[in-house]
Amino acid sequence: MLLQDKYKQLIDAANAGGVSNLKVREQDNVLHVDGSAPDGATKDKLWSVYNQIDPDYRAGDLIMNVDVAASSGSKAKVTTESTNLNIRKGPGTDQPIVGKASHNEMVTLISKTNDQWWLIKTDKGEEGYAYAQYLSPQ
């Protein structure tokens, strides 16, 4: 369980930050950390601890799949770098674009398709699938 020692600070931060359903498992020499953070700040904190322990994520010995807990009907902020967020007909970048949400716009989360895609609705009434990485549940 050497990896658990290496990433102890990360696991401690996850516990301290109130990450729910926290699972820490080692498989094939990779530590898998799964869970649900109560807010975006906690998730960001975990990623900064990860980057401190393994600068630039080079070691290839950790998979951290910690999302931000969000329920259907709640709001999320569009956190693209600067551009608009595409809203698509289906969950996949090969799907046609049916709308756009602007940077920092607040949208409504309808349902989570998977860890990558949310079905969302804008205040203008546009509905479709958006990439979860660019949505920060509020």
Partner 1 sequence: MKFFKTYLILFLISSAVFIGCKPKDSDLQAKVEKNLQGSPETSGVTVDVKDGVATLSGEVKVHNAVEKAAASAQDVNGIKSVVNNVTMQAPVVEAPPVEVNSDATMMQGVKDATKDFPTVTANVNDGVITLTGSVKRSNLQTLMMSLNTLKPKKIDNQLTIK
Q: Is residue 32 part of the contact set for partner 1 (CB under 8 A)?
A: yes
Give the three-class secondary structure for 13.
helix
Q: Which one among 20, 41, 57, 111 touches partner 1, defined by CB under 8 A? A: 57
DSSP codes joined into one string, 24-92: EEEETTEEEEEEEESSHHHHHHHHHHHHHHSGGG-S--EEEEEEE---TT-EEEE--SSSPEEEESSSS
Q: Is 96 in the site for partner 1 (CB under 8 A)?
A: no
Task: Judge whether 1 and 25 are in contact, CB under 8 Å.
Answer: no
Q: Which listed residue (8, 20, 92, 111) binds partner 1 by CB under 8 A?
A: 92
- Our finding on whether 14 is near partner 1 (CB under 8 A) is no
Total binding residues for partner 1 by CB under 8 A? 26
Return the residue of 16, 30, 97, 106 that touches partner 1, per CB under 8 A: 30
**Does 2 interact with partner 1 (rule: CB under 8 A)?**
no
Four-residue CA torsion sign, 9, 3, 24, 53: positive
What residue ranges bind partner 1 (CB under 8 A)? Answer: 23, 25, 27-28, 30, 32, 47, 51, 56-58, 60-61, 63-65, 67, 81, 92-94, 115-116, 131-133
